[in-house]
């Protein structure tokens, strides 16, 4: 990308690297040294956008070619690749077995047999998943990505549109192949974790853990809650990369978490702020226990509209893709709003109280956690409860969409469940040993993250149901968990300072 030719407004050409050198947003023209250049505006010139898009396609094609070559090798003999993938960890098990055998012969043999059986069962399960995904990929496979001709097109925007569609097809194929390759390398992320040799057989022998570099995070405190009148953070919302809104009791604050700096404060609610959601680049909405929804201008910090309509506390607020707001309340109703006019467009009646989590689903649906331990899917156009997911034995407290057809839920029954939205069936259940699971997030790799009331966050393999890693965020309830675009993690604890976890 660095060597892509960029045309300047003065007519001279430079390179992408030279234009971006130093990181300034505004700089003197590199060639004529007279005109001030806004870097983003120069890059958005039609000819420059086209060149950058063509280079992006070239880089994606190179990546796709490498992935296709790698997956072709795996396809020839998947079992061989999986055997090689698990070879090192199985050899480690053998070596460790011989080292400790002299002390605990019988216990050691029993434990080793069970451990290798479980490991091989995991391998067989993953091979089965791989072969199923491979079969799906083969049915819809498009292996050749011949570059579309744009020479006959005269309009640059038409050319750009054709190339953009082409790039999306390539990127989707790369994502599909990446998933297959990650499955084929599961065994490489396994290692033998050894503990002291003087307590019991598990600690003597060790256990199988995952050492995936995607799970390496280091913490940094965002800010000290003691500078606020109340230390309790009720809600949060991302505005831009590293910029978050936080609800502190009756007020809302905008923070730059990377700079640990408060940028703005918004006041107007008369009771606890319970939910926040972005509705435009410079607008957000809040709801409160004072039974109101407020619409705010981020830059001016002014409340531009107050919406009334719920007689009891409003606990959830989301903005749908069509721009409409959805709220749920302790009054057992879900309401659809036009936030520009304050008009209530539709009211959905629930037989049970809605808990504090609502998500937007596919095809004009919303997904709500209900007090009766169920998860209900509503059509917002018709107001009909189209599907109910049952399986938890306590109140469902958190929801997270994995993709368009998969949902994760966390409940007071100390379980995280993984659902198929199409069938309504629970596909997997993850046991949280210590306390009930809190907020949920999903990494691009497919790993699920859950917070907990015991102050920990856990990383889960959604294929095997295995807990891959646990990190101690604080000693109190993790009530908020948020992923940035770069997959850094922000954890909000009930009575402790927020922590920003960055990858290393």
**Does some domain include residue 115?**
yes
Instruction: Identify the domain boundary among 211, 244, 265.
Output: 211
Residue appearing with tokens 């003087």? 198
Answer whether residue 241 shows pLDDT above 80.
no
Question: Of 66 and 26, which is predicted with more confidence?
Answer: 66
Same domain, 100 and 143: yes
DSSP conformation class of 225: G
Cα gap 64→421, rounded to integer Å: 31
396 - beta bridge partners? 411
What is the 3-class SS of 186-201, one letter each residue?
HHHHEEEECCCCCCCH
**Residue-wise pLDDT tens digits, 407-458:** 988 888 888 888 999 899 998 888 765 566 678 888 888 888 888 877 888 8
Question: Of 481 and 356, which is predicted with more confidence?
Answer: 481
* Tokens read off for 354: 């809605």
**Does some domain include residue 184?**
yes
Are 341 and 326 in contact by the 8 Å Cβ rule? The answer is: no
**Does some domain include residue 187?**
yes
Which pLDDT belongs to residue 16? Answer: 85
pTM above 0.85, yes or no: no
Same domain, 85 and 171: yes
Which pLDDT belongs to residue 343? Answer: 94
Q: How many domains, the chain?
A: 2
* Tokens read off for 346: 């539709």
Instruction: Identify the domain boundary among 211, 235, 267.
Output: 211
Which pLDDT belongs to residue 300? Answer: 92
| Lowest pLDDT segment from 17-26, 218-227, 302-311 | 218-227
Answer whether residue 151 shows pLDDT above 90.
no
The crossing angle, in degrees rounded to 10, of helices 46-76 and 156-184 is 30
* Buried residues in 383-422 as b, exposed as e (16+ CB within 10 A): eebebebebbeebbbbbbbbeeebbbbbbbbbbbbbbebe
Which pLDDT belongs to residue 353? Answer: 64
Which residues, at least 6 apart from 424, have a Cβ–Cβ distance to it below 8 Å? 387, 388, 389
500 - beta bridge partners? 220, 490
The whole-number average pLDDT for the span 247-263 is 86
DSSP conformation class of 103: T
The whole-number average pLDDT for the span 214-227 is 70
- Our CA dihedral for 77, 78, 80, 83, rounded to 10 degrees, sits at 180
Question: Of 224 and 452, which is predicted with more confidence?
Answer: 452
Which pLDDT belongs to residue 484? Answer: 78
Question: What is the residue range of 9's domain?
Answer: 5-44
Which residues, at least 6 apart from 82, have a Cβ–Cβ distance to it below 8 Å? 123, 126, 127, 130, 184, 187
DSSP conformation class of 102: T
Answer whether residue 476 shows pLDDT above 90.
no
* Tokens read off for 314: 């409003």
Share of the chain above pLDDT 90, in %: 17
**Does some domain include residue 36?**
yes
Q: What is the DSSP string of 33-98?
A: S-SEEEHHHHHTSHHHHHHHHHHHHHHHHHHHHHHHHHHHHHHH-HHHHHHHHHHHHHHHHHHHHH
Cα gap 361→39, rounded to integer Å: 38
**Does some domain include residue 436?**
no
Type and span of the H or E element at 493:
strand 489-493
* Tokens read off for 63: 């990546």
Instruction: Map residue 168 onto helix, strand or coil.
Output: helix
**Quick one: pLDDT band at residue 222, thresholds 50, 70, 90?**
low
Answer whether residue 197 shows pLDDT above 60.
no
Same domain, 39 and 85: no
Same domain, 13 and 133: no
**Residue-wise pLDDT tens digits, 46-77:** 888 898 999 989 998 998 999 899 898 888 88
**Quick one: pLDDT band at residue 494, thresholds 50, 70, 90?**
low
Answer whether residue 28 shows pLDDT above 60.
yes
Same domain, 40 and 98: no
Same domain, 90 and 194: yes
Are 421 and 386 in contact by the 8 Å Cβ rule? The answer is: no
Which pLDDT belongs to residue 477? Answer: 76
Q: What is the DSSP string of 382-450?
A: T--EEEEE---SS-EEEEEEEETTEEEEEETTSEEEEEETTT--EEEEEE-SSS-EEEEEE-TTS-EEE
The widest CA-to-CA distance across the chain, in whole angstroms, is: 83
Answer whether residue 229 shows pLDDT above 70.
no
**Does some domain include residue 489?**
no
The whole-number average pLDDT for the span 266-286 is 91
Same domain, 28 and 115: no
Mean pLDDT for all residues in the chain: 83
Which pLDDT belongs to residue 354? Answer: 66
Instruction: Identify the domain boundary among 165, 184, 211.
Output: 211
Same domain, 142 and 186: yes
**Quick one: pLDDT band at residue 233, thresholds 50, 70, 90?**
confident
Distance, C-alpha 225 to centroid of its chain: 26
**Residue-wise pLDDT tens digits, 434-446:** 566 678 888 888 8
**Does some domain include residue 97?**
yes
Same domain, 183 and 123: yes
The whole-number average pLDDT for the span 109-134 is 85
CA distances from 448 to 18, 414, 440 (A): 40, 16, 7
CA distances from 503 to 320, 385, 444, 448 (A): 31, 41, 14, 16
**Residue-wise pLDDT tens digits, 341-382:** 999 998 887 656 666 678 888 888 899 888 788 998 988 888
Same domain, 187 and 103: yes
**Does some domain include residue 262?**
no
Answer whether residue 247 shows pLDDT above 80.
yes
Which pLDDT belongs to residue 155? Answer: 87
Which pLDDT belongs to residue 301? Answer: 93
* Alpha helix stretches (DSSP H) within 154-254: 156-184, 201-205
Question: Of 311 and 259, which is predicted with more confidence?
Answer: 311
* Tokens read off for 341: 């006019």
Residue of 121, 112, 114 lying closest to 92 (CA atoms): 112
Same domain, 40 and 81: no
Question: Of 434 and 148, which is predicted with more confidence?
Answer: 148
* Buried residues in 28-42 as b, exposed as e (16+ CB within 10 A): ebbeeeeeebebeeb
Cα gap 63→170, rounded to integer Å: 10
């Amino acid at each position: 990308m660095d060597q892509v030719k960029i045309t300047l407004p003065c007519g001279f050409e430079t390179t992408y690297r030279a234009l971006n050198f130093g990181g300034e947003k505004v700089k003197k023209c590199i060639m004529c040294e007279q005109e001030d250049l806004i870097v983003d505006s120069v890059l958005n010139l039609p000819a420059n956008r086209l060149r950058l898009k063509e280079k992006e396609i070239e880089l994606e094609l190179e990546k796709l070619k490498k992935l296709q070559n790698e997956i072709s090798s795996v396809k020839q003999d998947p079992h061989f690749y999986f055997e090689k993938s698990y070879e090192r960890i199985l050899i480690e098990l053998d070596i460790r077995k011989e080292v400790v055998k002299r002390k605990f012969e019988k216990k050691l043999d029993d434990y080793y047999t069970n451990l290798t059986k479980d490991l091989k069962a995991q391998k067989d399960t993953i091979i089965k998943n791989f072969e199923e995904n491979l079969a799906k990929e083969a049915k819809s496979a498009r292996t050749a990505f011949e570059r579309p001709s744009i020479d006959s097109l005269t309009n640059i925007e038409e050319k750009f549109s054709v190339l953009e569609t082409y790039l999306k097809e390539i990127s989707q194929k790369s994502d599909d192949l990446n998933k297959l390759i990650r499955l084929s390398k599961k065994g490489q992320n396994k290692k033998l974790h050894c503990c002291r040799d003087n307590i019991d057989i598990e600690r003597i022998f060790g256990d199988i853990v995952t050492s995936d570099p995607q799970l390496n995070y280091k913490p940094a405190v965002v800010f000290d809650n003691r500078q606020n009148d109340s230390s309790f953070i009720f809600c949060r919302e991302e505005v831009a990369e590293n910029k978050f809104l936080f609800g502190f009791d009756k007020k809302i604050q905008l923070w730059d978490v990377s700079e640990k700096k408060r940028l703005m404060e918004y006041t107007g609610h008369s009771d606890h702020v319970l939910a926040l959601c972005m509705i435009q680049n410079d607008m957000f909405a809040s709801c409160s226990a004072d039974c109101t929804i407020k619409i705010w201008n981020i830059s001016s910090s002014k409340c531009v509209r107050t919406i009334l309509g719920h007689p009891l506390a409003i606990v959830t607020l989301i903005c749908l893709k069509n721009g409409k707001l959805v709220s749920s309340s302790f009054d057992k109703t879900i309401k659809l709003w036009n936030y520009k006019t304050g008009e209530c467009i539709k009211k959905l009646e629930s037989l049970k109280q809605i808990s504090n989590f609502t998500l937007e689903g596919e095809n004009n649906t919303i997904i709500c956690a209900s007090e009766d331990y169920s998860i209900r899917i509503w059509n917002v156009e018709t107001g009909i409860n189209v599907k109910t997911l049952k399986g938890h034995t306590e109140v469902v407290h958190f929801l997270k969409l994995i993709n368009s057809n998969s949902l994760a839920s966390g409940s007071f029954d100390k379980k995280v469940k993984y659902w198929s939205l199409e069938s309504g069936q629970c596909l997997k259940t993850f046991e949280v040993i210590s306390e009930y699971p809190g907020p949920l997030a999903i990494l691009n790799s497919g790993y699920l993250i859950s917070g907990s009331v015991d102050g920990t966050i856990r990383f889960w393999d959604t294929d095997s149901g295995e807990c891959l890693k646990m990190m101690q965020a604080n000693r109190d309830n993790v009530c908020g968990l948020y992923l940035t675009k770069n997959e850094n993690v922000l954890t909000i604890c009930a009575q402790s300072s927020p922590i920003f976890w960055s990858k290393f």
